[in-house]
C-alpha cells in the first residue's frame, strides 16, 4: 500500500512496536520514556523551558482542551478561519461560550495582513487562534506577521501546528507563541491517537479554567511532572512516539526531516505543473500538495484504491485532491503516483 494520506507510510520498526505486548505504564521505565519524549518535543518546537501535555485523543481533543482550559479564561477570542480547521476553533469557542470573532479567509488564499491589523484594532481580542497550515486547502499562513501583530496589540497567540510540525520551520519562543499543538498522525508519522500540547514557560503558574475533567490542564501537567498521565495512556503509541523522536534526533533533527518533506513537495509540484494540475494555495505548505485535476475527478480516488492500492485525500471542493508529503515516500513513488493519476484522468 502507498499512502499519501495522514500519517503516510510508517517505518517498519515503528509499526513493529504496535505488534508487541504492552508493558505496564505505572513504572519508572515508562515515566523515563515520557520525560525524554517531553524534552525532545520541546527541543524540536524551540521551547526548551516549556511544558508538554500528551493526551490520548486526536488533534481536535487538544484543540478542545486549549479552548476549555485557556481560551475560556479570556474575554474575547479572534479566530483566523481559513477553512475546516480554522472554523473548528470558532466552533469550539461557540461551544464553550467564549465571545469570538470569526475572521474569514477565502479558500486557499493568504491573509490580507493589513486588513487583519485593522480588524484586530477594532475588535480588541485578548487571544488569537490560528493554524500555521490550513490542511483543508494547503495554505500556509505567515506566523511571523501574525506574531508581530499579536505582540503589538498584546494578544496571546495560540497556534495549531498539527500539520506543519516537522514540515515547516517553527520556533515557538522566537514567535512568542503561548500555546501550540500537534498530533501524532501528521508530521510525526506514527499512528493516530495522541495529541500534544506545548505550553510556553510564560504560562507557568497561570490560573487555567476547569471545565473538562479528562482534559484538565492542571491535572495533566502535574502528572506529566513525573512522566505520567492521569488515566490509561495509549501505551503502544507513546512507545512509538518515543522511538520516532529518537530517530529524528539521530537522523539529523528537525531540519533534516523538513528538508526531505520540502524536496518531495517541490518535486511533486513540478509534476503537477507538467500535468496542468493547478495548485490553488497562494503560499502552499510543504506538508501537502493540494491540486485540481482536469477530468474524471469522480473516478480518481476510487480507481487509485481499487486498482493500485494507493490512497490520496479528496478535498472539500470538486476536482481537488491532496497528497501528503510526510512519512516514508520517495521521489520515484511520487512519479508513480502522478503517472497513475494521469492515466486515470485520460481514460
Ligand atoms: C488533522 C488536523 C487537525 C485535527 O484533526 P483530528 O482528526 O482531530 O486529529 C486539526 N488541525 C489541523 C490543521 C489538522 O491538520
pTM for this prediction: 0.97
What length is written for the chain? 347
Share of the chain above pLDDT 70, in %: 100
The answer, yes or no, to whether any atom of ligand 1 lies below 6 A from the CB of 84, is no
Interval between CA 170 and ligand 1 midpoint (Å): 17
Strands 313-314, 139-140: pairing is unpaired
- Is the preceding peptide bond at 7 cis, omega within 30 degrees of 0? yes
Report whether pLDDT(316) > 90.
no
Instruction: Indicate which residue's Cα is closest to atom 3 of ligand 1.
Output: 59
Rounded CA-CA distance 164/186 in Å is 8
The answer, yes or no, to whether any atom of ligand 1 lies below 6 A from the CB of 131, is yes
Centroid of chain to Cα 115: 26
Residue 290: phi, psi to the nearest 5?
-105, 130
**Per-residue cell: 149:** 501583530
The pLDDT, as a whole number, for residue 246 is 98
**pLDDT single digits (tens) 83-106:** 999 999 999 999 999 999 999 999
Interval between CA 6 and ligand 1 midpoint (Å): 10
∠ at Cα 65 (62, 71), nearest 5°? 120
**All residues at 6 or more sequence positions from 225 whose CB lies less than 8 Å from its CB, including other chains:** none
CATH topology of domain 253-345: 3.90.1150
The answer regarding whether domain 12-250 maps to CATH 3.40.640.10 reads: yes
- pLDDT, average across residues 66-86: 98
Contact 199, 5 (CB under 8 A): no
The pLDDT, as a whole number, for residue 168 is 98
The DSSP line for 167-236 is TB---TTTTT-SEEEEETTTTT-S-S-EEEEEE-GGGTT-------STT-HHHHHHHHTTT--SS---HH
Between the CA of residue 265 and those of 132, 233, 260, 269, what are the distances in Å?
A: 17, 34, 9, 6
**All residues at 6 or more sequence positions from 145 whose CB lies less than 8 Å from its CB, including other chains:** 111, 113
- pLDDT, average across residues 117-145: 98
Share of the chain above pLDDT 90, in %: 99
Counting ligand 1 atoms within 8 A of each CB, the residue from 163, 170, 180 with the most, and so the one to mutate, is 163
Please provide the distance, in angstroms rounded to a whole number, between the alpha carbons at the two ends of the chain.
23
Contact 296, 275 (CB under 8 A): no
pLDDT confidence band for 308 (50 / 70 / 90): very high
Q: Given this chain, do its domains 12-250 and 253-345 carry the same CATH topology?
A: no
What are the contacts of 96-99 at 24+ separation with CB within 8 A? 96/67, 96/68, 96/71, 96/72, 96/211, 98/67, 98/71, 98/72, 98/74, 99/75
Domains of the chain, by residue range, sit at 12-250, 253-345
**pLDDT single digits (tens) 158-215:** 999 999 999 999 999 999 999 999 999 999 999 999 999 999 999 999 999 999 999 9
Interval between CA 308 and ligand 1 midpoint (Å): 27
Amino acid at each position: 500500500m502507498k499512502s499519501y494520506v495522514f500519517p503516510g507510510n510508517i517505518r517498519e520498526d515503528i509499526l513493529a512496536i504496535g505488534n508487541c505486548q504492552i508493558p505496564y505504564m505505572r513504572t519508572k521505565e515508562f515515566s523515563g520514556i515520557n520525560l525524554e519524549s517531553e524534552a525532545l518535543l520541546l527541543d524540536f518546537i524551540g521551547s526548551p523551558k516549556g511544558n508538554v501535555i500528551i493526551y490520548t485523543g486526536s488533534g481536535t481533543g487538544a484543540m478542545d482542551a486549549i479552548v476549555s482550559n485557556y481560551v475560556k479564561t479570556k474575554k474575547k477570542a479572534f479566530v483566523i478561519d481559513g477553512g475546516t480547521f480554522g472554523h473548528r476553533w470558532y466552533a469550539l469557542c461557540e461551544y464553550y461560550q467564549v465571545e469570538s470573532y470569526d475572521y474569514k479567509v477565502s479558500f486557499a488564499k493568504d491573509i490580507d495582513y493589513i486588513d487583519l491589523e485593522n480588524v484586530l484594532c477594532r475588535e480588541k481580542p485578548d487571544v488569537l487562534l490560528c493554524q500555521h497550515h490550513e490542511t483543508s486547502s494547503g495554505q500556509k499562513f505567515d506566523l511571523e506577521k501574525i506574531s508581530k501583530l499579536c505582540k503589538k496589540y498584546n494578544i496571546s497567540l495560540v497556534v495549531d501546528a498539527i500539520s506543519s510540525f516537522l514540515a515547516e520551520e517553527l520556533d515557538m519562543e522566537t514567535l512568542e507563541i503561548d500555546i501550540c499543538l500537534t498530533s501524532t498522525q501528521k508530521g510525526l508519522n506514527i499512528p493516530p491517537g495522541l495529541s500534544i500540547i506545548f505550553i510556553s514557560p510564560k504560562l507557568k503558574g497561570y490560573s487555567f479554567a476547569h471545565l473538562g475533567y479528562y482534559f484538565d490542564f492542571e491535572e495533566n501537567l502535574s502528572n506529566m511532572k513525573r512522566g505520567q498521565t492521569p488515566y490509561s495512556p495509549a501505551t503502544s503509541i507513546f512507545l512509538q512516539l518515543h522511538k520516532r523522536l529518537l530517530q529524528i534526533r539521530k537522523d539529523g533533527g528537525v531540519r533534516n526531516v523538513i528538508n526531505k518533506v520540502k524536496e518531495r513537495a517541490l518535486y511533486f509540484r513540478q509534476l503537477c505543473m507538467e500535468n496542468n494540475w493547478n495548485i490553488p494555495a497562494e503560499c502552499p505548505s510543504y506538508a501537502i500538495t493540494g491540486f485540481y485535476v482536469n477530468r474524471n475527478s469522480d473516478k480518481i480516488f476510487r480507481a487509485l484504491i481499487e486498482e493500485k492500492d494507493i490512497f490520496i485525500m479528496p478535498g472539500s471542493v470538486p476536482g481537488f485532491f491532496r497528497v501528503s508529503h510526510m512519512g516514508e515516500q520517495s521521489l520515484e513513488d511520487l512519479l508513480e503516483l502522478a503517472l497513475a493519476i494521469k492515466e486515470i484522468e485520460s481514460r
